[in-house]
Amino acid sequence: MSFQVFGIPVSRGVAIGRAVLVTSSRVDVAHYFITDEQVIAEIQRATQARDEVAQELEALKQDLPHDAPHELAALLDVHLMLLHDEALVGATRQWIVERHYNAEWALSAQLEVLARQFDEMEDDYLRERKADLEQVVERILSALAREQGRTPSDAASVVQRDFAGEDPLLLVAADIAPADMMQFKRSVFHGFITDIGGKTSHTAIVARSMDIPAVVGTREASRLIRQDDWVIIDGDAGAVIVNPSPIMLEEYRFRQRQSELERARLARLRHTPAVTLDGEKVALHANIELPADATAAIDAGATGVGLFRSEFLFMNREGELPDEEEQFLAYRAAVEAMRGLPVTIRTVDVGADKPLDRMSASELRHEHVLNPAMGLRAIRWSLSEPSMFRQQLRAIYRASAFGKVRVLIPMVAHLGEMRQIQESLKKVQQQLTDAGRAFTKVDLGVMIEIPAAALMLPLLLPYVDFVSIGTNDLIQYTLAIDRADEAVAHLYDPWHPAVLHLLATTIAQARAADKSVSVCGEMAGDPLFTDLLLAMGLRSFSMHPSQIPSVKQRVLRADASRLARLLPDLAASEDPQAAVEAAFSAVRRNH
């Protein structure tokens, strides 16, 4: 039966493929693809774990006291029967052989299939046997975890390996942590669907960086969609179509082909300088998460890296933070890959929806904070861990010997923080000089993502060389909206007059002080905002590499001076989005 699920569109385009449900059982387990050579060994792992559980159950039966209720022995018999049922054993083996799932994933996938069958049974007694099945599978998963030297709960991350299946695969999950999303960078998945999340949650941001369709905030998708269902992701409308009809399938395949043609056309703009019709040069930088992403930035025609999110070097490490040398090598790799173009490295921005695997001592004291978005995160966390902060700064400064490097500080709100930062910078420079380490001048910038920072910008500007506006958090904090909460996602409004006022004021004040200013939040990569930001005087944008071509096309068609003359009237509008679209489209038509 075909049905639709609706959520929040976060990455445009159409994806068609088979559903892959991750962590669908009650026990979190590792999910990864295995190679052809590993199939037999993985089947043996599953078989050995099942045999181990069978021995445990038989031992329990033998150890039952003589006066034990008859029902206990009968229950153990039911579990033993389920343990050897071909519907579980044979199908699990099939997942391993045909889909190349690891044993844990194969068991979880088949549990999902069988659990739904139990749910659809009319007989109450049979329907309640689902709990027995879950208990049996959990025993097998525990046996597999013991064999790997871990517990099921600490093996929840999803690891990708090379896999060549016949059908495209779409990932369906209740949620995907940002650190896990990073492992999907070059994965087999062609699209993502999650139950929770908002338009600018970091899961959504990484999905956009991969340039594949994604819909989040669907609430029930992971429970409604079954393993191996045919699914269409409409990343433009935020719709998920499950088991589509042949007519609908053909319509979306046509849309896929049209989208591919449009991408090919935009790709031809790669080497075209981003200059407006009236001759204003515009820098289009790239946001990256890992050094390897610099290649995609160059391929997209980026004029530099406007935001290197260094926190992703700190994630998925089982609590072991990268040392100075490892960070230096990563930063140097990105700098060298950019071939002399500037690289802006943001100091680690953990907290809120980007926690580390293991909290430091200072974080442990705050692990039960009610609102992590307003807690110990970003520069607050760095300043609470001064040795870690200086270690990262030393690595960044050392990388400056290999190209143009800038350092960006997130979530600044107090002048006292700026003074502490400058003290740390001076100490780091002295340490490197004493150690004979090479480095060059590194420009210092702050992210304007808290309304307080925007309002006190004139006081901050003497301390910095440049300003970068993080619109994602600026919107969140200005409107008091948790950007990862789908329950209030409809209130997250980048067109809100207060947000636009802070943007325009920040850009104007930075330009007046002769300090460079850029926008590195999601607004920078949305062509709907390009004309507006140009009108405000912005001449530096930073976005995901995949978004550069469409924004460049908008820049090439814009007349910045004419757009700027329209800005005062638009600022007074009750509906800025409608006013901007009407006014700026009229300007484009006149050209």
Residue 285 or residue 575, greater confidence: 285
Task: State pLDDT tens for residues 414-448.
Answer: 999 999 999 999 999 999 999 999 999 999 999 99
Task: State pLDDT tens for residues 353-380.
Answer: 555 654 443 443 344 455 667 788 899 9
Answer whether 591's CB lies under 8 Å from 559's CB.
Answer: yes
Q: How many CB atoms lie within 10 A of CB 494?
A: 23
Cα separation, 344 vs 336, in Å, equals: 13
Cα separation, 587 vs 589, in Å, equals: 5
Cα separation, 408 vs 423, in Å, equals: 16
Which residues make Cβ contacts (< 8 Å) with residue 455, sequence separation at least 6?
502
* Confidence (pLDDT) at 498: 93
Q: How many CB atoms lie within 10 A of CB 311?
A: 22
Task: State pLDDT tens for residues 154-166.
Answer: 333 444 444 445 6
Cα separation, 313 vs 326, in Å, equals: 9
* Confidence (pLDDT) at 178: 56
Which amino acid, one-letter code, is at 541? Answer: F
Mean pLDDT along residues 292-316: 91
* Confidence (pLDDT) at 273: 96
Q: Please list the residues that pair with 344 across neighbouring strands.
A: 406
Residue 220 or residue 437, greater confidence: 437
* Confidence (pLDDT) at 450: 96
311: enclosing H helix or E strand: none
Q: How many CB atoms lie within 10 A of CB 556?
A: 15
Confidence of residue 186 (pLDDT cuts 50, 70, 90): low
Mean pLDDT along residues 519-537: 94
Among 79, 100, 285, 520, which one carries the catalytic annotation?
A: 520
**Is the pLDDT score of 458 beyond 70?**
yes
Confidence of residue 334 (pLDDT cuts 50, 70, 90): very high
Cα separation, 395 vs 200, in Å, equals: 29
Residue 583 or residue 491, greater confidence: 491
Highest mean pLDDT, choosing among 41-55, 77-91, 396-410: 396-410
Q: At what angle do helices 86-94 and 130-147 cross, to 10 degrees?
A: 50
Look up 202 and say whether it is catalytic. yes
Widest Cα–Cα separation across the chain: 93
Look up 520 and say whether it is catalytic. yes
**Is the pLDDT score of 26 beyond 70?**
no
The domains found in the chain, sorted by start residue, are: 3-22+160-264 (3.50.30.10), 34-155 (1.10.274.10), 268-590 (3.20.20.60)
The pTM score is 0.71
Mean pLDDT along residues 186-203: 77
Tracing tokens 């009809």 back to the chain, one arrives at 245
Among 202, 271, 368, 591, which one carries the catalytic annotation?
A: 202
Confidence of residue 318 (pLDDT cuts 50, 70, 90): low
